[in-house]
Amino acid sequence: MPGSHIAAGMQTSSECPDLNTLVNGIGMTSQRTRDRLVKRLREEGVRNQDVLDVIRKTPRHLFVDEALSSRAYEDTALPIGYNQTISQPYVVAAMTDLVIANKPQKVLEVGTGSGYQAAVLAALVPKVYTVERIKPLAVLARQRFRQMGLRNIRASHNDGTIGLPEFAPYDAIIVTAASESIPEALLEQLADNGRLVIPVGGRDCQTLSVISRHGDKFERQDLDPVVFVPLLSGEA
């Protein structure tokens, strides 16, 4: 089913935390903690300053369970339930850098998960479409987008392996789960000169790959070994 456009803003009451407090964080979720994460990412080889600035500003602690918020700015993947994870910040930064290399105006993300990757992309791309097969995760991600006032994200609960053909073509597609083969539907939804960033492989051996489209031809470049949850079809 197609997702709905994300509404802006967040309803507040005298009993709710102030939005600035939620976003800025305190203690282990403070801006100082985020700055340390960005410093580590730079030391690990992330060079795109625009990506680093967005990582610094994006409140990752809002995308994990409150019990794990003290670990939100560690450079590690964390569980988000339903056998899914929020990706390691280094991986998010590296994949974002690959996605925005051709200055896309419209991006599709397959695998919304917590919503963190979509939120990072939304600060760098005019329009982000994201699809999640697990309904509770899709619902929670929508709530987070509203909470943060992210108006340029359109979120759907659907089978991500078939993409979102009704909004194609996309300048870039990013897949946040590993597929043993590259879904043909996603290649078809790429715009000319667009690129697909996807982990390819089984549970024991995965490689981050970039597939570029040039007319009816596709060029594949394999990059680094990675570890992602498997890309599954259907809705849950």
Q: Which residues are catalytic?
A: 87
Give 108-123 as a DSSP string: EEE--TTSHHHHHHHT
CB neighbour list of residue 154: distance below 8 Å, 6 or more residues apart: 3, 4, 5, 6, 127, 128, 129, 130, 167
Residue 52 CA to residue 232 CA, distance in Å, equals: 30
Cα angle 226-227-230, degrees, rounded to a multiple of 5: 125
Tokens found for residue 233: 């079809």
CB neighbour list of residue 72: distance below 8 Å, 6 or more residues apart: 28, 29, 60, 61, 63, 64, 78
Residue 74 CA to residue 202 CA, distance in Å, equals: 26
